[in-house]
């Protein structure tokens, strides 16, 4: 955990806040954005970046999800519920994004010794603990069986998951990404993924073991902390923690060099999604 704390303590944090861009800001743009920032930070063009982002009514699928035997049926259930879907370029399985889910990315340079995977996860776990340090709740990092996109760094309170973490590495840059279910019903979100797998897998035998979703093991921070939190509330907590851990923070947008990288990554991820979902 101490090494994770060290990663939070950057001399400069560059802030890119995309948490209020609205329903027309698409998840594919976000993943191209993090690839761009990995390149920028990894090459020394930019200091460490903290990015916040929100997407409306979107299911982000993992690569393994595209191999479901009845994928078209699973995707149809998502469409019927009013959700768009994309395939992410980092690890993991299907997750729900909506206006009550705040996503955060810490984009860090790979220094000489590198950042091992657990150290990156520890940094985000530490970040979240500091963001909610004023609540008498213990935030644990361990796999919550029955959650969607389960992993060893699921963040939970009293056995109920409210966040999941993934990583993306490009050109000496590391993006550690977390989704935080801020408000709304965690179990209702889980039911959407539960139905996706029920329709997408049915009773077929598969080489890959897809999660058996138990909606009751997921909740939002508002539910778990017994207080009405909003995305702007949590965004303020995020910025305050970065201020406490850095000598300076400043807000910015992509510059012209980064825009060129972004266009390239965005084109690539669109083509990759079309290939992954071809024939569905």
Span 157-188, pLDDT tens digits? 999 999 999 999 988 899 999 999 999 999 99
- Taking phi over 0 as left and psi of -120 to 50 as alpha, with beta for the rest, 260 belongs to alpha
- The pLDDT tens digits for 260-280 are 999 999 999 999 999 989 877
Q: Residue 204 above 70 pLDDT?
A: yes
Choice among 59, 78, 106, 149 that is catalytic: 149
Q: Give the C-alpha separation, 275 to 242, whole Å.
A: 38
The sign of the dihedral angle between the CA atoms of 259, 21, 42, 171 is negative
Q: Residue 1 above 60 pLDDT?
A: no
CATH 3.30.930.10: does it fit domain 2-276?
yes
Task: Tell me the pLDDT band of 102, cut-offs 50, 70 and 90.
Answer: very high
Active site residue 149: yes
What is the maximum span of the chain, computed from C-alpha positions, in angstroms? Answer: 55
Q: Give the C-alpha separation, 232 to 170, whole Å.
A: 30
Task: Tell me the pLDDT band of 3, cut-offs 50, 70 and 90.
Answer: low
Residue that has been written with the tokens 């009013």 in this structure: 82
242 sits in which H/E element? helix 231-245
Whole-number pLDDT of residue 50: 97
Q: Give the C-alpha separation, 103 to 135, whole Å.
A: 21
Residue that has been written with the tokens 């979240």 in this structure: 128
Burial per residue of 177-192, b for 16 or more beta-carbon CB atoms within 10 angstroms, e otherwise: bbbbbbbbbbbebbbb
Q: What is the mean pLDDT of the chain?
A: 94
Average pLDDT over residues 95-109: 97
- As a residue count, the chain comes to 280
C-alpha 228: how far from its chain's center? 22
Quick check: 46 and 258 in contact, CB under 8 A? yes
Whole-number pLDDT of residue 113: 58
Where are any strands of DSSP class E within 26-159?
49-53, 58-61, 84-87, 95-97, 101-109, 140-141, 155-157
């Amino acid at each position: 955990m101490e090494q994770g704390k060290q990663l939070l303590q950057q001399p400069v944090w560059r802030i890119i806040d995309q948490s209020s861009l609205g329903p027309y800001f698409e998840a594919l743009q976000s993943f191209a954005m993090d690839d761009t920032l990995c390149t920028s930070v990894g090459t020394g063009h930019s200091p460490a970046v903290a990015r916040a982002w929100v997407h409306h009514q979107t299911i982000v699928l993992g690569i393994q999800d595209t191999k479901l035997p009845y994928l078209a049926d699973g995707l149809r259930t998502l469409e019927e519920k009013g959700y768009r879907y994309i395939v992410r370029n980092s690890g993991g399985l299907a997750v729900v994004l909506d206006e009550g889910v705040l996503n955060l990315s810490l984009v860090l340079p790979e220094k000489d010794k590198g950042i091992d995977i657990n150290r990156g996860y520890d940094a985000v776990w530490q970040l979240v603990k500091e963001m909610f340090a004023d609540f008498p709740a213990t935030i644990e990092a361990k796999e919550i069986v029955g959650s969607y996109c389960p992993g060893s760094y699921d963040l939970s309170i009293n056995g109920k998951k409210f966040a999941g973490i993934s990583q993306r590495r490009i050109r000496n840059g590391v993006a550690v990404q977390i989704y935080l279910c801020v408000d709304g019903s965690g179990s209702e979100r889980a039911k959407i993924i539960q139905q996706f797998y029920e329709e997408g897998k049915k009773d077929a035998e598969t080489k890959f073991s897809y999660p058996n979703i138990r909606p009751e093991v997921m909740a939002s921070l508002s539910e778990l902390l017994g207080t009405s939190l909003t995305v702007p509330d949590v965004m303020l907590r995020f910025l305050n923690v970065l201020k406490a851990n850095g000598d300076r923070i400043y807000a910015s947008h992509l510059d012209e060099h980064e825009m060129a990288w972004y266009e390239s990554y965005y084109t690539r991820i669109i083509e990759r999604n079309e290939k992954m979902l071809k024939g569905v």
